[in-house]
Chain A
Amino acid sequence: MSAPLLSIRDLSVVVRGDQGPRTLLDRVSLDLAPGEILGLVGESGSGKSLLCRSLVQLLPSRAISVTQGEVRMGGRDLLALSEAQMQQVRGAEIGMIFQNPSSHLDPLMRVGDQIVEGLRFHRRLDRAAAKAEAIALMGQVGFTDPPRQFAAYPHEFSGGMRQRAMIAVALACDPKILIADEPTTALDVTIQAQILRLLMELRERRGLSIILITHDLGVVAQTCDRIAVMRQGRVVEVGDKRALLARPAHAYTRALIASHPSMPVTNECSEVDDQADEAKVASLPPPSAVPARPLVEIDDLHIRYPLPGGLFGRRRSFSAVKGVSLQIRPGETVGIVGESGSGKSTLARAMLGLTPIADGHVTFDGVTLRGQPRVALAKIRHQAAMVFQDPFNSLNPRLTISQTLTEVLRVQGKVPSAAIPARVVELLALVELDPELAGRRPRQLSGGQCQRAGIARALAVDPRLIVADECVAALDVTIQAQIVALFQRLVKTMELTLVFIAHDLAIVRHLCERVVVMHHGRIVEEGPCAEVFERPREAYTAALIAAIPDIDPERRLLAPPVEKLAS
């Protein structure tokens, strides 16, 4: 390796709290070579974002401080620089892009002006030159019509385009190092592939060094040269990508790799999966084996949301679901996949009578929602339950977990009140949640624990159908794997019908028997998981599958030209 561009030595960061100081980063040492992409992997709370914030002295709180170590770049120790000197480093030498471009771009400022800001401040260009340069930059990062898009505001762009804007804003200051903090986590797979490819292109073209923070080993495998694995404030393993993925030395790295959804199923779930496979085989020839009546039957469903219009203007509406027909048989595990805006969540909400239907029918266990809304809703509320994406915000913050469960049990009335406490304990055991946590409120739990509580709440209904809407999207990979394993076990032991909505195809492939692919409010393909993933019939499905970053570096990521860049 050539002389490092950036060299971190024994960096320790401490937070002063009520119970004395706590170490957040523990003697971290890392090097970054010129033109290198270094992947920083680890779960939330492992300190990877904090490490990058420390490099540019942008610590998130006054209580957090660097206690030892140095960060050498260009013959200086960055940690010893004054605030004024640091302002010349930030942006101009080390640029940053973030996970959520929507919240990091100024909503009130034109995208072009945000790029110009850096050009004028760091490169001292005059207004006209800065504007010309900004337009050129916007072209480089993939804007289709930079002169026009220069004057647009962030909210007028899609998530992917906002991330491109964020990258242009960072590049405007012409940094040598780009820190990308989970830059694609909030994006759809196809968009993720485009952004990753853009980052690699920029590395080639500008000789940029990139520190890529991510929790997704697939992303790292596809883009990085070297990987550093972080856990609890320490770097547990660093090494060349291929060597590290092939022969992980640290137990934690092995666990991370094993949790990756694109990995073949490991021993723990294999027994479950074998049986699931049998079930798949059994369910393949539809007729005799399966009950005649589907549990949920959706027929030519249309759902429209009204758009704000004028007083006299014609009421316009947006079609979220356009003519979807779908049957879900009891005991089935159906995955609904698609990019954001494809209508998958709307479809799920419609199944539970949570959104008004414009046209078509939803039938739950023989009762149509539009024909007999009262009967159908009563039935749905007693036999179906939902698990939501955000484990924190979907639980009442003022209630403890046991209060939440008790409330559901009391309302449902299926369990005599005397038996409720026992049932709560039983439910917690079902979702493998420590009974000691029953007295806690959501804020006192981790994301994974919260989601288990959310699942317990759904199970408290004693449902026949569970609809899980992106319920693992907000969780770390190892936790994701645990929750998916939990669902597998529940489905198998409780005769549950599961509708599992996800943008992550790998998880669906892992968990579901049947998959439904949605695009622009329509079903483009459906069928048994194995078949759809192995031999997709539609180009769109194939493109979606190809865009999943595989953990095997040799299986190159294809950025498919499915959707042209947003115009």
Chain B
Amino acid sequence: MHRYSFILMRPLQFVPVVFGVSLITFILVRMIPGDPARVLLGARATPTAIANIRAQFGLDEPLWLQYLYFLRNLANGEMGMSIVYRIDVLRLIGTRIEPTFALILCSVLLSILIAVPLAAIAARNQGRPVDHAIRFVSTFGIGFPPFWLGLMLIMLLAVRFPIFPVSGYGETLGDKLAHLVLPALTIALSLSTVLLRSLRAAMVDWLKSDVATAARARGMPESIVFWRHVLPNSIAPTINLLAVNIGWLIGGTVVIESIFALPGMGQLLVRAIFSRDYMVVQGIAMVFACATVLVNFLADIATVAADPRVKL
């Protein structure tokens, strides 16, 4: 078997996962107390109007039949209509994917840019003041809650020194990036500390490893020992850690998007839950679940690419 043949086989495992996720979200969403028709029409709606809306969206059918409709639509690539926005759920989500995706991408890139150099400096100066300083500062990243960090960043870099916009999302690429800096930085400050600790620990171990000793014994200068032998070997365990954290981020951008008023999926999800917009909640849950599965799949590919010994 070829080492990469799992790329063809693994997607087949997604089918039961997606099926399971669809069932669970369907049931959970309907366990939220409240009636979407009543939320939509307000407190003074007549029973006939409510019944009409319920019939229009199939809410008067038995639950199992609603689930079968949901599955049938899913198979056709449809997720139904939003009760509130009155448009197709997939199209609705489509308009909101970009900010969330861009936010996660920027956060991850920023985290790596922060974590790798700091981990390298700390590991190569293990036990010295600079190592202690980096580790001390990094505990703050873990200790402070992101919503608080976000507010502090807004106050400092948007209000006190108005370098970046306070909130919202732009139109042009440059504008969009400018709006993403603060939210991405907020996430990166905590995510990078997690990566930094894992990377530093791995680097410290590999710097003492037989591989490093052997490289030094053939006269390799410390820079080659580090960048060519220590760093690649240290990255492997961090890949999976990063994947787990991205998975968490996909659902976890809700808070950040709310603070920075980013029109992303997290924000849409919160509104949909409040207005009992079942179809939208279901749709977003499905997208989140699939994205998480996809990220882990990509992490598996990265792991295999990074380490020739790994077979999946």
Asked if B9 and A90 sit within 8 Å, CB to CB, the answer is no
Given the complex, which residues of B lie within 8 Å of A92, measured CB to CB?
219
Interface hit among A64-72, A305-313, A533-541, A546-554 = A305-313
Take A58-B213, A155-B309 as given contacts and tell me if A109 and B229 are in contact as well, using a CB distance cutoff of 8 Å.
yes
- B32 located at the interface, meaning its Cβ lies under 8 Å from any Cβ of chain A in the complex: no
In the complex, chain B residues whose CB is within 8 Å of the CB of A58: 213, 216-217
A91 contacts chain B at the CB level, 8 A cutoff = yes
Nearest CB on A from B55, distance (A): 44
Known: A90-B216, A118-B219, A312-B9. 10 other contacts (CB 8 A): A91-B220, A107-B233, A108-B233, A108-B307, A117-B220, A117-B228, A122-B218, A309-B1, A311-B12, A311-B13
Contacts of A106 in B (CB 8 A): 211, 215, 229, 233
Flag whether A98 is at the interface (Cβ < 8 A): yes
The 8 residue pairs across chains A and B that have the minimum distance between CB atoms: A91-B219, A91-B218, A90-B219, A104-B214, A103-B210, A96-B217, A153-B308, A104-B210
Contact A108 B218 (CB under 8 A): no
Known contacts A103-B211, A169-B218; A153/B309 CB under 8 A? yes
For residue A88, CB closer than 8 A to chain B, the reply is yes
For the complex, count residues of B whose C-beta is within 8 A of A: 28
A266 to B12, CA, bound (A): 67
A400-423 interface code vs B (CB 8 A; 1 in, 0 out) = 000000000000000000000000
Q: Taking the complex as formed, is B140 at the interface, i.e. its CB lies under 8 A from any CB of chain A?
A: no
CB-based contact B218/A100 at 8 Å: no
Number of interface residues, chain A, beta carbon within 8 A: 37
Chain B residues near A170 (CB, 8 Å)?
A: 218
Query: Which residue of A88, A108, A309 is within 8 Å of B219 (Cβ)?
Result: A88
Does A104 lie within 8 Å of B218, measured CB to CB?
no
Q: Which residue of B lies closest to A110 (CB)?
A: B308
Q: Give Cα distance in the complex from A166 to B228, angstroms.
A: 17
Q: How far is the CA of A166 from the CA of B214 in the complex (A)?
A: 9
- Nearest-neighbor residue (CB-CB) of B308 within chain A: A153
Return 6 A-B CB contacts under 8 Å, by A number. A87-B220, A96-B217, A108-B232, A153-B309, A166-B214, A310-B6
Closest approach, in angstroms, between the C-beta of A186 and any C-beta of chain B? 12
B211 and A87 within 8 A (CB)? no
A98 with B9: CB separation less than 8 A: no
Q: Is B224 an interface residue (CB 8 A)?
A: yes
Write out the residue numbers on chain A whose beta carbons fall within 8 Å of the beta carbon of B33.
none
B-contact 0/1 string along A309-352, CB 8 Å cutoff: 11111000000000000000000000000000000000000000
Q: How far is the CA of A166 from the CA of B233 in the complex (A)?
A: 19
B1 touches A104 (CB 8 A): no
Interface residue? B47 (CB, 8 A)? no
| Closest chain B residue to A179, Cβ basis | B217
CA distance A122 to B216 in the complex (A): 13
Q: What are the residues of chain A within 8 A of B13 when measuring CB–CB?
A: 311
Q: Is the CB of B219 within 8 A of A96?
A: no
Q: Does residue B306 face the partner (Cβ distance < 8 Å to A)?
A: yes
B5 within 8 A of A: yes
Check B217 against A90 for contact (C-beta < 8 Å): yes
A90 to B222, CA, bound (A): 13
Q: Bound complex: CA of A138 vs CA of B309, how far in Å? A: 22
Chain B residues closer than 8 Å to A121, beta-carbon distance: 218-220, 224
Question: A146: CB under 8 A from chain B?
Answer: no
Q: Is B62 an interface residue (CB 8 A)?
A: no
B221 interface contact, C-beta 8 A: yes
C-alpha gap A433/B9 in the complex (Å): 57
A137 proximal to B (CB < 8 A): no
Max chain B C-beta neighbours (<10 A), residue from A87, A91, A106? A106
Q: A456 CA to B8 CA in the complex, in Å?
A: 53
Complex CA gap A393/B232 in Å reads 29
Q: What residue in chain B is nearest A308 (Cβ atoms)?
A: B311
How does the 8 Å CB contact mask read for A21-63 relative to B, with 1 for contact and 0 for none?
0000000000000000000000000000000000010100000
Check if B309 sits within 8 Å of A104, measured CB to CB. no
Partner of B214, one of A88, A98, A153, A312: A98
Residue A95, interface by CB 8 Å = yes
Interface residues of A in 68-101 (CB under 8 A from B): 84, 87-92, 95-96, 98, 100
**Taking the nearest CB of chain B, how far is it from the CB of A125, in angstroms?**
15
Q: Does B209 contact A (CB under 8 A)?
A: yes
Contact B214 A96 (CB under 8 A): yes
A89 surroundings in chain B (CB, below 8 A): 219
Cα-based distance from A98 to B232 in the complex (angstroms): 22
Which of B1, B214, B228 neighbours the largest number of chain A CB atoms within 10 Å of its CB? B214
Q: Closest A-chain residue to B13, C-beta based? A: A311
Q: Does A105 contact B (CB under 8 A)?
A: yes
Residues of B within 8 A of A155 (CB): 308-309
Q: Which residue of A lies closest to B9 (CB)?
A: A311
CB pair B219 A173 closer than 8 Å: yes
How far apart sit A512 and B232, CA to CA, in the bound complex (Å)? 48
Q: Do B12 and A87 touch across chains, with their CB atoms under 8 A apart? A: no
Please give, as numbers and ranges, the residues of chain A lying within 8 Å of B213 by CB-CB distance: 58, 98, 104
Residue with the greatest number of chain B CB neighbours at <10 A, chosen from A92, A108, A309: A108
Instruction: List residues 145-171 of chain B with CB under 8 A from any CB of chain A.
Output: none
A108 to B303, CA, bound (A): 12
